[in-house]
Structure formats: C-alpha cells, structure tokens
Structure 1
C-alpha cells in the first residue's frame, strides 16, 4: 500500500490563480498541497502581455456594430481570427456571449467584476514585495494606439464615459505620443490614449514562479501530479502523487483552460470556451524599445518590453484548445508592428500559443461547487487571469475559511449556468 499524506486543501493548478489561492489559504492557517503537471506559471500565466489591467472596468464584450462584425466575418481581421470548424462548434457559446454583451447585461457583468479590478494592483503588490518581484513591475500604465483621427476621437469619447471610475488617462496627439514613445516610426499613428493606472511586468511567468517559491518557502508543498487522478470519497479528496497518496478534506480546481476536463468527470458541464493567443519575442533594433506596452487597437496586438526582448502578443483566435497552431495571425501582426516600430529578428524558434478560458457572461467561476460542498472552483478569467489571480485567491480563501468577503460571490457562482 502506498504511503498516505495529509493536507487541509489540495489546489489543482499552479498558474497565477492556483498559486494565489494556495498563498492566501496558507496565510489563513491551512496546510496546502499545490499540484501541477508542469512548472508553475508555464502556461497561460506565462504567455500574456504582462498587464495588471486596473483600467479594464468594462469586460471584453462581443461586438454588436455591423462594420466590426463584417470585418471579423471576413476572417481577414488580424485582431480576431477563426477556424471554420471551431466557429460552427462554438456557435451556441458565441450566441450566449453576444446576448450577454447587450448594454444592460454588460453593465451588470462590469459591476460584478469591478471590486476585483479595483483591488488587482494592491493584491499583486503585496505578494510582489514578499516574493521580491518588485523590480519586474512598472507603474507607468499602457498606451492604446489609433491610426486615424476619427478612431482617436471615438476613443476619447469612450474614455470620458468612464469618468465615474476615476481612472487616470491622457489623450495624446502624435507629437506628444512621440515624446513618450520615441521609438515609434513617424506617421505610424494619429494619436493614442495613455491609461496610467495599470501596472505592467516584464516577465509574468517569472512573477508567478516567484509567488510559488514564496509559497514553498513558507512551508507549502508544491508537487507534480496529474489532476485527473483526483478522487472523491466520504473522507474528502485523494490524489496520487508519484508513489504517495495525498488526502484532503477540500480541493480547489484552478486549472485554467483544462478545468472542464476534470469538472466533466465530476459531473459538471460549464460553457467554457477558448480565445487562443500567440506571442513571439524580437531583438531590439536601432535602440527602439517600447517604454510602455503598446496596443494597436485595430490589429489587436500588444508590443511589450520583456526580459527576453520585445514581446508581440496577438489578439483572439477562435479555435479548439489543442488544435495545431496557425502562424497567419502572428505573421500579419508582425508586419503591422514593423511599420510602428523597428523590430529585430525573432528570438523564439516557434511562436508560443495559449488558450484564454472564457465563459459567455465574461465572468469567472469563483466559489463552491453545487454538488460537492468540499470542492471549490476558480477559473474562467478570460483576458484577465494574470490581472485577477491574486485578488481571486483572496476572495476564494476568505470564502473557504468563513471570513467576510469584500464582494458578493453570487455573480461568480457555478450554478448560474
């Protein structure tokens, strides 16, 4: 018989969300086993644009204006690309996404997620100080680029509508923009909106790994294991880890885009779909480096200064989570990016690819499982997994330890589907 080990909670998934849940539970006195099949932060937590997006107070909605829909339908948009087979499979999910993007329902989702957005930087900074990652963080915000004056004017009007949220931003004409981003090529854009509240990081994967190291330095156990071996019985949860069997009264599913694989086996079916994305690193050319993350709004990509070089992160690809990569979107984005700023050669042998786990109401699932009182969920953060990881950890840990929560968990409940 294999040796049996005991913990208070098994946390499945060592991305930014799972690591943050483990840290917060540990801080509240729980003994935690954190498991992943690979290294911490090696998947979606690694491949993003490095934004802690305090200014995203409106969820990423399904477009409802005909010109944008027509552009996306052509499948020639760099911002949104789709595989036809995947689009047909996703049709029911996309219909629900479109329905939830109506103004009144979008406003409801925005109000639900706002308490997490408002606390996202504070929660990250708390762990960053303890984990020693403050040097990887910059508090200078990010910049949205607009190629013509009409789109810039629309962006200015949209920014004004967010006045009630007290966000700090600057409207930049081309000349002012070039003082903040001297590496931009002349005439590339008409102007920009500089959102000053967000914090950016130069290596999101390293930040996640440092948080995981903090967890182990404080006595937590981080082991490699297959979440699919999780079993439930009258005593709680058990998981096979190498030659040992671990037991815990409670378990947390924080497996990002793989969460549904386990949930289906446990009898849950959630409408989780995927917005895939790619990134590539480039060498610095002619001394031109983004001083802030730069988002080309029309093409949907972001250029960020990272430890490895300049990272280009693409927009959305609607495809199955595990379908083979398609370089078209990245190749097209690179061509546009080279007209914005000089880029050196590619530094990666192959583009990185990941899948953002998305739910049709644009809200994650955070809270207790409906049919297993000892099972908890924390996944489905879409574009904001890295942003909301630490604050999600706080919210879930408070709920699990019967502490007052800073917001209502109702909008994130699993049984809403």
Structure 2
C-alpha cells in the first residue's frame, strides 16, 4: 500500500512538471529556405546591464518604429534585429520590419543548444523590430528572453540557422497612430500585429466620401500623409505578396493625437488580417489569445514562440550544420578539438582555429588575450574556462538608427 501511495505521488509530481513546461507553437509555415551558418547574440540582458524583462532597444525604441512592445501580447518580447547587409533587409522596402523568422540553435559545442524531449535543438519564432548596424549579414541580435529559449544567455553568442516564416498573431491588424491633426493635417502611423507574410508593402487611406490616397513610408514601418482626409479614416493595407485587405471606418475621431515617434499612441483594431496558413492562436487556431505573460521562466501556459521537433513544419530533423559555401558559424564547429579532448573557443569572425593557425594569427594579442584557439595554437593545452567561453561570445550593446 505504501509503495502504491509513493507511486501515486510520483506520477502526480510528474504530471505537474509536464503541465508547467511551456508548450510549443501550433505550426510553422516557411516562406524561405533555411539560411545555414548564422550567428545569434542577444540584447537587453545582463550583458547590457539591463533586466531582460524590461523594455530595451528593439522592444522599446527600435528602428522599425513600433515603439514599446508588450511582453503580454504578440510577439511577447520575441523580437530580433537584422543587419543592413542581410538578404531579407535589402530585399524589403521596410528592411524586414514586422517579418517573422524561425531561429534554430545549430551550435557545435557540446551542451550549448537547448533540446526537446526527442533530443532536437529548439527554435524560437522572432519578429523583426530593429536593425543592427554592426552585425554581419547572417547575424541576428535576439532579445535576451527569446535567446534564453535557445541557449544559456551566459554563452552570449551561438551558431544558428534561420528562415523566414509566416507570422501568426492571435488577433487582427492594428493601426497605431502617432500623430493625427485632423482633416488637412499631418497623419503618421504604423501597422502592427501583421500576420501571414506580414511585410507591409503599401498603405492607402480614404476619408468620408473620398478616394484612396497612398501613404508615404518615411522610415522603418512608419507611414505618413501630409494632409489627412476627413474622418472616419479607412485603410487599404497590402503585403509583399500582393494580398490587400481593407479596414473601414477605423479612426472615427477628428484628430487630437500628437504623441510623436516616441510618445503615447492611439491604437485602433482594424478588424481584418492577412491570410495565415496555420494560425498558432486565435481565429482558426486556439480559440483566442492565450492568457500569457512574459516567457521568462517556468509557466503553466503554452509558449507560442517556441518550436520543437513535434511542431508541424518545424523541420528539426535536419542537421542544422553549415552548408557548402558558408563559413562555419562562430561556436558552430569552427573551433574543433585536439586528440587529448581539449576544445577550442573559436574567434568571433567565423573562421576556424585551424585557419587562424595556417594564417599565422596565433601570436596576435586578440587571440591570446581572449583565450581563443588555445588547443590548436598550442596554448596551455587544457580546456578553456567558462569565463573564456563567455568572453568569446558575449553580447554587445546595439546601436539603433532610424532612416
């Protein structure tokens, strides 16, 4: 009888643990192929002297112009910044703003990637809210809470792969108005909470009894008109795939909004949304927005921004290694190890320790001072300390720019 009671307690405890584990996104719909050999760092955490649960950089005043992003609504602080040289940045007039990406840990160092129950490395879904001028072309700077779902933030820098995917917010598009001086006055706004392809290609406005007039994309995801029509204001919003949706009589008030780019905004529900193939939540998905808060610890709620190998469309069975034609990502197998089990910490420029040795770089101060490539370069021949690994991959404070 005692054994039965103990078994019952153990099973109940296991059930509680399972209930507390964040569940993954419902589905992933890829838009692009995987880009291999990428690098991820993180912003807004301890390495920046900040609390990762508080707004910073891309969740506060990112170059896309979304303003402060709430932890409790899509994308739940799961944001990232693209480099100006990134292919998705250069291919889009809005420089990737609002697009979503699946980022999967693909780091060759033992124990770096967090894994699911099947042993596959986890992915996170992120929305682009900022730019990273000092990042390399396939380097994404990810908010610290989102990075922590891939790897320990203390690692700082990991190898990864990424691809563009559909965004799946739980509710409709939102028109976030920064300035509106009434009919004939200045109008400035952003389109938030876009689903599907999510890249807004054009916005037009129409007033009472008027015709559609295009808005001008001034910077980031911000759209403006020098002379607003007579309210109520309706909007026609088109994505980069050509899908157009019309939101009628969205703004009914006659001006009076003057928050500016960094001030308070008036947000209006559009009542429409772009097509979402596999909505993770909301209409056709989970029956409304999940009651969640920031995903910065154990939670009894599901985490719609986490992807594991059981998620439809996750493609987690692939190796995730660097493909032909790409340099090995820093920390993604570029370091190597010697026969005595010593493991190198590679340099953060993406080249392997063997390449550094072949080029005669082992004696340079930046390699010796930071403890890079000790095994290959014939340092102390032992394993590198965790402090050295953190130095090799520490995140950096990002510079924010607006056009």
TM-score bucket of the superposed structures, by smaller chain? under 0.3
Report which of the two has the higher share of helix.
1
Higher relative contact order (CA 8 A, sep 6+): 1
TM-score scaled by structure 2?
0.22
Q: Which protein has the larger Cα radius of gyration, Structure 1 or Structure 2?
A: 2
State the TM-score, normalized to the length of structure 1: 0.21
